[in-house]
Amino acid sequence: MVRYLFGRLGMAALVALTVSIISFALVYMSGDPAVAIAGEHATVDVVAQIRAQYGYDRPLPVQYLDWLASALRGDFGISPYFKVPVADLIVERLQVTMTLGLLAITFAMLIGVPMGVIAAMKPNSLIDRVALFIAVVGQAIPSFWFGLLLIVFFAVNLGWLPASGVASWQGYVLPTIVLGYYATPAIMRLTRAGMIEVLSSDYIRTARAKGVAPSKILFKHALRNAVIPVVSLAAVQMGFMLGGSIVTESVFALHGAGYLAWQSISRNDLPTMQALILIFSLFYIFFTFLSDVLNAWLDPRLRG
């Protein structure tokens, strides 16, 4: 297990290094970053001043190494739009996005896994068809449209929940449903497929022939093996939720890291954009590594 963990850690470190290089290079793919910050109508002197201020006049390898060393210390520079340290901006906004992401993936797992198990126990039944219908609807409805429907019904018409903001815990309810429902279909279908495959395996038939209790067969033997790919999918979905919550945060006016990403892109705030790309990618790598560890714990055969 220790060897497996070190191997995964090494792989994660290499991926993180690659991501840092890509995050740094993205700034130059759209042209001169100094011109982007200064604006198209800025004078040559202003552009030169910004280029010197942010160090864009130095060789690229030197810029990357300095940026990486500063990033490892938590220093991402000063935001040219907000005029405050980028790290302070991200710390302030990331709490909202992390809370929303954790609530959304929990919602998706609590709905998707039980639905998948129930559908697998009675394949091609009415329950199975209803579960598949819910999954298809979840993938077909655009998240922004679904969010607006919930706002109109629960906030405007009924007045049960706030339409925007997170002044209280109620503000997280509707965004959690919108973001979590988007991930529910994939989790449900993967759970269903895994359970159907496991329930038809030989060792499950043997357990039934020995008179093992059906609840023990379902939860100890079948679900433990069927949930392994679901854990990996949940990690991927969690990383997607953190980086892809821009639409949801915009619809519900949540000033999280996703909304900050949209602001930095629309205002050419390159240091903030660069830092957010790196941080979202690192979270994605972390959750993927965590899923590998959980899967190795659930199934010792994966340890090699």
3-state secondary structure the chain: CHHHHHHHHHHHHHHHHHHHHHHHHHHHHCCCHHHHHHCCCCCHHHHHHHHHHCCCCCCHHHHHHHHHHHHHCCCCCECCCCCCEHHHHHHHHHHHHHHHHHHHHHHHHHHHHHHHHHHHHCCCCHHHHHHHHHHHHHHHCCHHHHHHHHHHHHHHHCCCCCCCCCCCHHHHHHHHHHHHHHHHHHHHHHHHHHHHHHHCCHHHHHHHHCCCCHHHHHHHHHHHHHCHHHHHHHHHHHHHHHHCCHHHHHHCCCCCHHHHHHHHHHCCCHHHHHHHHHHHHHHHHHHHHHHHHHHHHHCHHHHC
Residue 301: per-residue pLDDT = 63
Residue 10: per-residue pLDDT = 80
Residue 268: per-residue pLDDT = 76
Residue 303: per-residue pLDDT = 59
Residue 300: per-residue pLDDT = 64
Residue 298: per-residue pLDDT = 65
Residue 304: per-residue pLDDT = 57
Which fold, 93-265? MetI-like fold (1.10.3720)
Residue 30: per-residue pLDDT = 65
Q: Along the 304 residues of the chain, how does pLDDT read in single tens digits?
A: 667 677 777 888 888 888 888 878 877 776 677 777 777 677 777 878 877 877 777 888 888 888 888 888 888 888 878 888 888 888 888 888 888 888 988 998 898 888 888 888 887 788 888 888 887 787 778 888 888 888 998 988 888 888 877 778 888 889 999 888 888 888 888 888 888 888 777 777 777 777 777 777 777 777 777 777 787 778 777 777 776 677 888 888 888 888 888 888 878 787 888 888 888 888 888 888 877 777 777 666 665 5
